[in-house]
A and B are shown apart, each in its own frame.
Chain A
Amino acid sequence: MTTFDTTERTLLQPEGGFLGKVSAALPFRRQAEAKSWSHRLKGAQIGLVLAWFMIAIAILWAVFPELFTSHSGTVGVAGTQLRAPSAAHWLGTDALGRDVFARIIYGAVNSLSGAFVSVTVGLLFGTALGLIAGSVRGMIGDVIMRIVDVLLSIPNLLLSLTIIILLGFGTINAAIAVGITSVASFARLARSEVVRVRNSDYVEAAFGSGGTFGRVLLRHILPNSLTSVIALAALQFGSAILAISTLGFLGYGAPPPTPEWGLLIAEGRNYIARAWWLTAVPGFVVILVVLSANRISQSFGKVRT
């Protein structure tokens, strides 16, 4: 009903000088922000806590794999091929007698560092391009954005395969390739944010008080555009793990016997009828980490003021 659309908005209307007396009425956001962490974690935030927990564990796996398992991630034990999950091998063993759980743990470092590299590549190049395109008006901005459009028009997988073939196989190269495919979306988002911030009164006021272009860019435009870009980075972290795993699965990533999550899924595929856990468990771990990254990225989006 068109007639009743005002409810929500009027509640958020700016308050004047009588702030103190009505603090309960209006500034919910403000009050929520003042609450301590313990309060904020209550209620609907359990999912977010679990997400951080999952990411923390994955990071610990990557940094201290030996704390989580006594088995080796690369060397198999003869005579223990394709065992089902048991007390000795929690998630069973693969065709070469390697402990699957150990391989997942040792694989974390490859997958996570790959994702990290690719997000960094995308974030740095994408944001830089977007920042330039958004703040320098005219030809330069247009040219950058048309190049970005071209990048966007190529299917991601195709683009990353092409780049890998140019760079050579390997975890880091795969990561860079995935990173380059995300440059376009970072650039577009950064540009739209920069344009929004650039048109705001405080940026004009900064120029009006004698600010030079570079100074205003660094002091106001960049910090205020970054919030949603950071949220995209967290989201991109999840999809990068997925994309790197895809490349690993296709054989363009880390060469065997490196324990990389995508490669694990690919290797287990041959035994899916006899030993389903070989593909299912690494797949499940990838899903969990990606979901966690998405959840965290969502929470970044909400904090935005």
Chain B
Amino acid sequence: MTLAPDLAAPPARALDTPVLEIDNLVLAYKDDEAFHPVVHGVSFQVRPGEVVALVGESGSGKTTTAQAVIGLLAENGRLESGAIRLNGTDISTWSRRQLDAIRGSKISLIPQDPTSSLNPVKTIGDQVGEILKIHGRGDKKAIEARVIELLARVGLSRPELRARQYPHELSGGMRQRVLIAIAIALEPALIIADEPTSALDVTVQKRILDLIDDLRREFGTAVLLVTHDLGVAADRSNHLVVLQGGRIQEQGPTAQVLAAPRSPYTRKLLTDAPSLTKAQRPSKGKSTSAASDEYSIVVEDLVQDFSLGSGREKFRAVDGVSFKVRKGSTHAIVGESGSGKTTTARSVVAFQKPTSGRILVDGIDVTTLHGESLRQFRKKIQLVYQNPFGSLDPLQSVFQIIEEPLLNFGQIARKDRARKVHDILGRVGLPQSVLTRKPRALSGGQRQRVAIARALVLDPQVLVLDEAVSALDVTVQAQILNLLDELQQVLGLTYLFISHDLAVVRQISDTVSVLRNGRLVDSGTVEDVFLRPGSEYTRELIEAIPGTKTLSHA
């Protein structure tokens, strides 16, 4: 395994002193009475021009560690012991005022969420200029010129115009570029990128990561990349630090860790990461053969218009999409945000009436249903939502949530209902003890299992999964995907799987449709589409999957 040459050789500049050295760092958070350590003795180094990836699942302490470096721990957080050395100086005991002087100039941060990290009432130019003003870099005119230069540098078209615009006028990718412009404004020695692309589409993600790479090469800046995505870490880092539960499981040169992981946890992460799994699941072959010739879902020439505001203007979200899904198989709809994939899914489950076209689910024309017939139709098809935190009523117990669909249809005796709920709970792999809990006392993966249980309790034939695993950690994601696979084989379910994540799609689906701007650009079996993409766009999507770079070298 060889690495791309630019990664292997960081600029030869003072290689002996690390830009950042974390030494036996212990961080704790306070609850009502005591401090509980959450990061237990973490040590690593970031050398000039190097990219160090801090990888782990939610709760592993990766963000907490990154926050500590820049002195931004939450108010109830505390540095218990250990040192944070920036260019050899320990900054862990510095006051806020001292830290202010280095924030932005020596270390800067690229935050995760570009939508909430920019001030909506200030122009882009003002916000980029702010950091220059704070650190007293030149007069008004010089700052203005520098802002334009920076915006051009991060690849924004028409920088003069952008500087006068407000955040809402820019797309997510453009906003992330603005945040990067702010981060590089003072050419810091270290940039902390906290999940810089997790909220972005794959192709945009690739461009943003390329940009960070370019800038790093140009300025010799070191990057501490905090990410949950092993694929991204594999592509972009020299050095990998794997965190679990606030402890380092393993660290070393990226290529080495990926090729020969020593810790069992790293191995597990690697097998769970869909983008790094080379082969498809073997089980997939079985379900394909089990799929019958009957079609469970037939969508013909689906068109969906939305009116914009009160005017006559129409926005066509879905434009002439057709596909067929065999009974017992999995069909994926992929595309970037705004491609119309969720709109298609919502039409299929009859949450909205299509403008034109035909949708047959199990032979029933969905578009003609209304009132009671629509309500009865709900038994056949169920939707599982992306966000398990929003799709469960926070006031109800798990039992009430799963029981509810049964209450909606017919008089089922209380005892039978309870038995049914218990059965289904076991089927999705949850212990009976969760029945009395409220959703907030469950983890993300558990909640998604509850959501799946609720969808299955009516014995539907079709399950529509709208980004159902996108909000979950890789290992949890792998568990849920396994569960779905198992349920499909036992219950003969048909899945319509909506996802932006091509790596997951490759793993779970039999057939796939690629949407772009509401139009179908590619479709067929997974092998066909992935190995012989029929359109330029599909090829671009596939190339943007993080982790492919490492694979091609493997």
Report A's interface with B, CB cutoff 8 A: 1-11, 13-19, 21-22, 24-26, 28, 30-32, 35, 39, 42, 200-202, 204-212, 215, 219-220, 223-224, 305
Contact = CB atoms under 8 A, between A and B. Distances in A.
A28 B59 CA distance: 13
A207 B405 CA distance: 9
B58 A15 contact: yes
Given A18-B57, A215-B408, A305-B440, A25 B111 contact: no
Contacts of A8: 74
Contacts of B475: 16-17
Given A5-B111, A25-B246, 14 more contacts: A1-B134, A2-B117, A3-B103, A14-B389, A15-B444, A16-B476, A18-B57, A18-B245, A25-B38, A208-B349, A209-B382, A212-B375, A215-B407, A224-B394
B370 interface: no
A201 B31 contact: no
27 contacts: A2-B130, A3-B103, A3-B111, A9-B116, A10-B194, A11-B63, A13-B58, A16-B444, A16-B476, A18-B60, A19-B59, A19-B443, A21-B59, A24-B29, A26-B58, A32-B31, A32-B32, A39-B32, A42-B32, A201-B391, A202-B390, A207-B351, A208-B378, A209-B458, A219-B393, A224-B394, A305-B440
Interface string B17-49: 000000000001101110011100000000000
Contacts of B182: 2-3
A286 B440 CA distance: 40
Judged by DSSP, the binding face of A is helix
B465 to A, nearest CB: 13
A267 B410 CA distance: 65
A17 B32 contact: no
Nearest to A18: B59
Nearest to A42: B32
A202 B393 contact: yes
B109 A6 contact: yes
B29 A9 contact: no
B227 to A, nearest CB: 13
Contact of B38 (A22, A215, A223): A22
A3 B131 contact: yes
B536 to A, nearest CB: 35
B375 to A, nearest CB: 5
Contact of A209 (B29, B38, B59, B378): B378
Nearest to B246: A22
A2 B408 contact: no
Interface of B: 28-29, 31-33, 36-38, 57-61, 63-64, 67, 70, 72-74, 76, 103-104, 108-109, 111-113, 116-119, 127, 130-131, 134, 179, 182-183, 194, 244-246, 349, 351, 375-376, 378-379, 382-383, 385, 387, 389-396, 404-405, 407-409, 440-441, 443-446, 451, 454-455, 458, 471-473, 475-476, 479
A205 B446 CA distance: 17
A273 B307 CA distance: 70
Contact of A15 (B36, B395, B443): B443
A290 B18 CA distance: 61
B74 A16 contact: no
A1 B113 contact: no
Contacts of B471: 14
Contacts of B390: 200-202
B387 A25 contact: no
Which of A4, A208, A211, A223 lies at the interface centre, i.e. has the most chain B CB atoms within 10 A of its CB? A208
Contact of B440 (A30, A208, A223): A30
A13 B198 CA distance: 13
A172 B82 CA distance: 68
Which of A3, A19, A305 lies at the interface centre, i.e. has the most chain B CB atoms within 10 A of its CB? A3
Which of B28, B108, B351, B408 lies at the interface centre, i.e. has the most chain A CB atoms within 10 A of its CB? B408
Which of B36, B67, B111, B445 lies at the interface centre, i.e. has the most chain A CB atoms within 10 A of its CB? B111
Contacts of A39: 32-33
A24 B76 contact: no
Given A5-B117, A22-B246, A211 B408 contact: yes
Given A3-B182, A4-B109, A209-B378, A16 B408 contact: no
B112 A201 contact: no
Contacts of A204: 351
B447 to A, nearest CB: 9
A74 B111 CA distance: 69
Given A200-B390, A210-B378, A31 B408 contact: no
Contacts of A208: 349, 351, 378, 382-383
A198 to B, nearest CB: 13
A208 B179 CA distance: 40
A35 B387 CA distance: 28
A21 B38 CA distance: 9
Nearest to B134: A1
Contacts of B376: 210
Contacts of A30: 440-441
Contact of A224 (B37, B395, B444, B445): B395
Given A3-B111, A25-B246, A31 B116 contact: no
A6 B117 contact: yes
Contact of B409 (A6, A11, A202, A210): A210
Contact of B404 (A13, A17, A211): A211
Contacts of B455: 209
Contacts of B444: 14-17
Contacts of A7: 67, 72-74
Contacts of A211: 404, 408
Contact of A202 (B32, B379, B392): B392
A156 to B, nearest CB: 33
A22 B116 contact: no
B193 to A, nearest CB: 11
Contact of B63 (A10, A206, A210): A10
Contact of A6 (B60, B112, B183): B112
A6 B74 CA distance: 10
B393 A220 contact: yes
A201 B387 contact: yes
A220 to B, nearest CB: 5
A42 B473 CA distance: 37
Contacts of A4: 70, 72, 103, 109, 111
Contacts of A14: 58, 389, 444, 471
A2 B118 contact: yes
Contact of B113 (A9, A42, A202): A9
Nearest to A226: B395
Contacts of B61: 22, 25
